A = this chain, B = another copy of it.
Amino acid sequence: MSKDKGFVTEITPQGEDFSRWYIDVIKKAELMDYSPVRGCIVFRPDGYEIWEHMQRELDQRFKDTGHRNAYFPLFIPESFFQKEKEHVEGFNPELPFVTEAGGEQLEEKLAIRPTSETMFGHMYAKWINSYRDLPVLINQWANVVRWEKRTLPFLRTSEFLWQEGHTAHEDEADARGETMRMLDVYTDFVENVLAIPVIKGQKTPSEKFAGAVDTFSIEAMMRDGRAVQAGTSHYMGTNFAVAFDIKYLSRENTQEFCHTTSWGVSTRLIGAMIMVHGDDRGLMLPPKVAPTQVMMIPIGPPKTREQVIAKTDELYAELKKAGVRVRVDDRSDVSPGWKFNEYEMRGIPIRLELGPRDLENGVCVLVSRVSGEKKQVPLDNLVAEVKAMLDEVHQEMFQRALEFRKEHFFSVETLDELKAKLEEQRGFALAGWCGSEACEKQVKDETGATSRNIPFEPAETKTQCLVCGDPSKHTVAFARAY
C-alpha cells in the first residue's frame, strides 16, 4: 500500500535531526499515520502487529504469574476523581469529558479514562469481603486518553493503548512483593523480547505516580541520549483502599484496608524500541516482535527466474511451517537493490537471497540487519540456520544498545559538571542527591534533565548532592526524557 514505488526517499540522518529521523522512519515504514483528530494516530498493520507480539509475550507472563484479564468501562464519573486527592491533581488537566450523549446533556459529566485506577477501586470495594478473596490479581488491556499538549507518535499521543494491572492484598509485604515481581516481569520482557537494556530503580517522590506510596520504573536510553520510561510498577499502600473503601475481614476477624498495587506499559514501548535500535538506514526491529522476520528475495536473470522462484516458494513453505514469520518479494518490476534498501529501512531482521548459482550449490545467503554480515548457509539446514541467526540478531541488538548506553552514561559531581556534559554529548548522568525537592528542581530548571530513578544497582555510589554539596542520600540517574 506504499505511495511511492520508486527508490527510497532520503531519511534524515540521526545526527542531523533525531526527531526528524524518527518521524521519517515511522511514516516511511508505514507503522503509523496521522489522524484527523489532534494527537491521535492510526496504527497501520505493521505498527499494530508489533503491538500484538508485545501483547502476546506480556500476556503470557501475566498469566504465568497468576493474573487474569478483565474489562472495565471507558467512562468514569467525574466525582471518582475527587476521591483520591493526589490522583485528581495528577490527572485533571488531561481529561476529556463527554457532556452530551443521545442528543441530551448528561447530568454528570463523564471522563474518558486516563487510567482505570478509580474504577478498579470502586469495583474491588464491592467484590472483596474477606482475606479468603485475596489477593485479587487483575489486568486490563485497553485504550486510555490523556489530552496532551505536545504529542509525538507512539511516545506521547492523546489516545494510546496499554495494559494496567491492579491488585489488592492483605498486607504491605504481599503488595510490595507483587510490585517488585511485576517490575521484574517488565525487565525480563523489555530486555529479552525488545532487546533493550534497562535501568531498574525507584522514582523520587516528585516523579512518582499520582496517589502512589512508591513508584518503581525501568528506564531506557534512546539513541539521542534521552530517556524513555519503559514501564512502571506502583505500591499504593492503602491510599486507594481508603479512598474507595476497599476493606476485608482479616484472619483476626477485624476490618482492614487492602494494600494495592498497579503497574503498566503502553504503546510508547513501540516508540522506545524504534529510538533505541534504529540507524540511518531506517528501522531495526527485534526479531521477537518483528512482523516479518525474514524477507526472501529471489535474484538472477529472467531465464532462471522460474526455477529460482519455485525453490523460493518451497523454502518459504518450510520456514512458515517452522513458525518463522517470512515473506517473499518476487516482483520483477523492481530491482533487488531497491528491495534490499526497502527492507533494511523497514528493519526486517534477516534478508534471504537466493540466486541460480546458489541453487546449483544448494545454498542461500542470509544477511543480518544489525551487522550486515552475509552468511552462506546450506538449504538442507535452513530452518535451524535462520532460527540461530534470529537469536544472534537479538543478542547483537541488545549488545549494541548496551554499548551505546555505556558510552553515554557519565558520572558527575556537580551541577556545573552535569551542564557541561550535557552540552558536550547527550546521555544519562549518575549523581549524588541530598533528597530535597529544591535541589531536584534546580537540576531540572537549569539542565532540562529530570531524575529518572534511583537505580537499584548504580555503577558507583555518589557521596554528595550535585546541587547543594550536602551528603547524598541517594545516587540518582538524571537525563532529559521523552
Question: Would you call B1 and A133 a contact (CB within 8 A)?
Answer: yes
Question: Would you call B70 and A37 a contact (CB within 8 A)?
Answer: no
Residues A127-173 near B (CB distance < 8 A): 127-129, 132-133, 136, 138, 142-143, 145, 147, 149, 159, 161
Question: Would you call A95 and B99 a contact (CB within 8 A)?
Answer: no
Question: Would you call A36 and B99 a contact (CB within 8 A)?
Answer: no
Contact stretch, chosen from A41-49, A197-205, A383-391: A41-49
Question: Would you call A71 and B43 a contact (CB within 8 A)?
Answer: yes
Question: Would you call A138 and B45 a contact (CB within 8 A)?
Answer: yes
Residues of B within 8 A of A98 (CB): 96-99, 112
Residues A5-59 near B (CB distance < 8 A): 5, 33, 35-37, 40-45, 47-49, 51-52
Residues of B within 8 A of A71 (CB): 42-43, 48, 51, 161
Q: Which of the residues B51, B122, B136, B147 comes within 8 Å of A101, measured between beta carbons?
A: B147
Question: Would you call A73 and B41 a contact (CB within 8 A)?
Answer: yes
A336 interfacial contact with B, CB 8 Å: no
Q: Mark A265-306, 1 if CB is under 8 A from B, else 0.
A: 000000000000000000000000000000000000000000
Interface size class of A (residues with CB under 8 A): 35 or more
Question: Would you call B99 and A99 a contact (CB within 8 A)?
Answer: yes
| Given A33-B123, A98-B97, A102-B147, A159 and B74 contact (CB-CB distance below 8 Å) | yes
Residues of B within 8 A of A93 (CB): 102-103
Question: Would you call B37 and A75 a contact (CB within 8 A)?
Answer: yes
| Given A96-B102, A98-B96, A35 and B147 contact (CB-CB distance below 8 Å) | no
Question: Would you call B159 and A33 a contact (CB within 8 A)?
Answer: no
A72 interfacial contact with B, CB 8 Å: yes
Which A residues lie at the B interface, using CB under 8 A? 1, 3, 5, 33, 35-37, 40-45, 47-49, 51-52, 68-77, 80, 92-103, 110, 112, 119, 122-123, 126-129, 132-133, 136, 138, 142-143, 145, 147, 149, 159, 161
6 new A-B pairs (CB below 8 Å) besides A41-B73, A97-B100? Answer: A40-B75, A42-B70, A42-B71, A42-B73, A98-B99, A101-B147
